[in-house]
Structure 1
Amino acid sequence: MKETISTEDILKNIQDKDRYIIFGYATMCKTCDISETMLQVVTETKQLSYERINLNYYKGLIDQYQIRSAPALLLFKKGKLVQEVYAFQSVTYLNEVLEDFLVD
């Protein structure tokens, strides 16, 4: 499987978009599958979208943002990484995280 969005495009989106969400996963990671299911529930109810990337293909991003593990939820506001989530815990927890993220 190859990447579907270039690193350059991701970096451009981080800079250009007011808010940008990246969900990083790894192939064959069952925890990633479960985490994304929880994320989908929350983002659908909040009408949010996120960039889904296979971290195996984004070493530059891993180094630049010091991504520690998969799954990873990276929340950007106005070009800055404002929060990282590695333990998704529950739908309720993710809802609270994204609710805080939406506040200016």
Structure 2
Amino acid sequence: MKQVIQTEDILKNIQAKERYIIFGYASMCKTCDISETMLQVVTEMRGIDYERLNLNYHKDLIELFKIRSAPALLLFKNGKLFREIYAFQSVPYLNEIFDQFLVD
């Protein structure tokens, strides 16, 4: 079983990394499963990683970032929230989002 990442570590990573991606999900959420499958395709093609975050264990982050629902994709750039996605739509759509996110 993977250890649950602590809120403090997430906040440190947001500040320390040039780009940081959080995939927020909820247990037993089938839409989350489908969304993560699409996200995996895009991130594997691009060779980038993301943090999986079970939102059930991070209510403080839900309040801090005003997360509205699960699944949620939070893209941080240089310590600031760059974009949040709730409707993953399709792999091509996510590719477009990452095209914008990965530009310097």
TM-score between both structures, scaled by the size of structure 2? 0.97
Q: Which runs of 5+ in 2 are unaligned?
A: none
Extract unaligned runs of 5+ from structure 1: none
CA distance in 1, matches of 2:63, 2:80: 15
| CA–CA separation in structure 1 for the residues paired with 2:36 and 2:52 | 9
Change (3 A) 1:86 1:3: farther
**Structure 1: 4+ residue segments shifted above 2 A:** none
Paired residues for 1:17-96 under 5 Å = 17-96=17-96
Where 2:13 maps in the other structure, the secondary structure is helix
| Distance in 2 of aligned mates of 1:34 and 1:40 | 10
> Quick check: 1:97 aligned with 2:60?
no
1:21 CA displacement: 0.1
Distance across 1 between alignment mates of 2:66 and 2:4: 21
Secondary structure at 1:33 match in 2? helix
* Contact preservation (8 Å) 1:72, 1:84: yes
Decide whether aligned partners of structure 1 residues 76 and 43 sit closer, same or farther in structure 2, where only a CA change above 3 A counts: same
Percent identity, aligned pairs only, is 74
RMSD: 1.3
Number of positions where the alignment pairs a residue of Structure 1 with one of Structure 2: 104
TM-score between both structures, scaled by the size of structure 1: 0.97
